Structure 1
Amino acid sequence: MLVAKPKLTQPHLYGCDASALVPYQTTLLHPDALIAYEQMKHSIQADGLDIDICSGYRSFDKQLAIWNAKASGQRVLLDKHSKPVDIKTLNQTEIVDTILIWSALPGTSRHHWGTDIDVFDPRKISRDNLQLVSAEYQHSGPCHELYSWLKSNAFKFGFYFPFQQGKSGVSPEEWHLSYFPVAQQYTEDFCSDTLLTLLTPIEIHLKQDVLPRLNALVQHYVKYVARPNQ
């Protein structure tokens, strides 16, 4: 059972309060991001393509469950090439670093904000068959045409790709869009000291390795992101 989380001054930054978000399909989005997304979707469809969201808002508790499942070996760890890694061959620091290739530390996910979405082309692949790997968005992949459109046009609606090769701590994610006008302010407001207050009392796997490195992890995985037009 999780220990009750302390009250935070800006709980929405850490996935602890979604009251300001609005429902859209099966997820929640920031109101400004939703307006921009619907405008973008209309433009995409006018060009004969389509887009859908497979993941939007994710709570702190949901991210914690993902983290603990991966840290305990209940969910498969993947390397930067999306290949399975044997957790038994890794020490604790290596496990943390391997999880962080594709999954955020609880409290640090941009999906906590309602500004970030994972998208796909529903004409070419179903949500159930989607794996969210680069091959699906690269040449000959089912979402390549959509990805190409987004690279050329998403900025017109305030969206961009925050995770890019050599420009972010997180591995490149061709499916992950961020609504920059709000997300950038949230990135600046994010505080590692507040995150430490949140993580210290709860049952999170590998805590003894994570907490001493927390400032560095926040700098690399939260603060270090690409900017539009890079």
Structure 2
Amino acid sequence: MKRRSFIQKSSGAALGLSLLPNILMQEAEYSIAELMGKAPIELYGKDINLRKEAHDAFLDMKKAAYSDGIDLKIVSSFRDFSRQEGIFERKYITYTDEGMEPMAAIEKIIEYSTIPGTSRHHWGTDADIIDGYRNVEGDVLDPEKYGNGGPYEDFKLWMDENSETYGYHLVYTDDPKRRGFKYEPWHYSYAPLSIPMLEAYRGFNVIALLEKEEFFGAEHFTRAFLRSYIQNNILDINRSLL
């Protein structure tokens, strides 16, 4: 072998080996345990609880909103698997105790709540946001309160105009063609992180993993139901987040 050829091939092999750890690190950046809310992640900010980059962007957005008379307040952000499991099971037990059939109860739950292990709130990138200046009675996460004449109308208009400047996108829009979860005018996602996380999530066999779960109601999941749920509820979101 000629010396130049040997050097080129040796250098190429060395380069490949030097890049391998970086490639593996990139591929393993988000583990399935992390994406399903089963592994601890580093969160930042009192009453914010988001990943560092999402936290910093939220504070920048909050500061800008202040100048326009709006106090961006997070009412829910990170939720681990156990907490989502508790939400799902509580609703499942309530609905079935009221006489609903198991699958009917599950379909009712997934109008607004996710199956444990599939929530975007597991990622530390998503938050339910309201205007803290408004004194609102009852459920603050009511879509009607964000529409014309509602107490959060100004908040929604401000977010429509400004949130994407800070990387935050509405997840479940009011597009009539969108399927899955109902319209949530309070749920925003920090796109620079959540887009690659969703891409990583899609690379795992989530259906097989969910079939192994044992929380109340999971025994009624069929493969067809889970396929439909992932396609409609997990993936039929604001196109800017895909």
SS in 2 for 1:102: coil
Q: Does 1:135 align with 2:144?
A: yes
Cα displacement (A) at 1:115: 0.6
Inter-CA distance 63–211: structure 2 relative to 1 (3 Å threshold): farther
Residue 114 of structure 2 aligns with which residue? Answer: 104
> 5+ residue gaps in structure 2?
1-29
Give the TM-score normalised by structure 2: 0.78
Instruction: Provide Cα deviations, 1:122-142, integer angstroms capped at 9, x if missing partner.
Output: 11126x854311122112222
Q: Which residue of 1 aligns with 2:8?
A: none
Q: Which amino acid aligns with 2:34?
A: H
Native 8 Å contact 1:50 1:121 kept in 2: yes
Question: Contact between 1:14 and 1:108, CA under 8 Å: does it hold in 2?
Answer: yes
Say if 2:103 and 2:220, in contact at 8 Å, map to a contact too: yes
**Aligned-partner Cα distance in 2 for 1:45–1:203:** 45
Determine helix, strand or coil for the equivalent of 1:29: coil
> Structure 2 CA distance, aligned partners of 1:172 and 1:86?
27
User: What CA RMSD, in Å, does the superposition of the two structures yield over aligned residues?
Assistant: 2.4
| Structure with the greater alpha carbon radius of gyration | 2
Correspondence list, 1:72-151, <5 A: 72-73=93-94, 87-88=98-99, 90-125=100-135, 129-151=138-160
Q: AA paired with 1:214?
A: L
Any conservation in 1 of the 2:65–2:72 contact (CA below 8 Å)? Answer: yes
* Residues 1:86 and 1:160: Cα distance change in structure 2 (over 3 Å): farther
TM-score w.r.t. length of structure 1: 0.82
Work out whether 1:228 is the aligned partner of 2:240: yes
C-alpha distance after superposition, 1:151-183 (max 9, x if no partner): 111110111111013335211100111111111
Given residue 11 of structure 1, which amino acid in structure 2 is its aligned partner?
A: A
| Higher helix content, 1 or 2 | 2
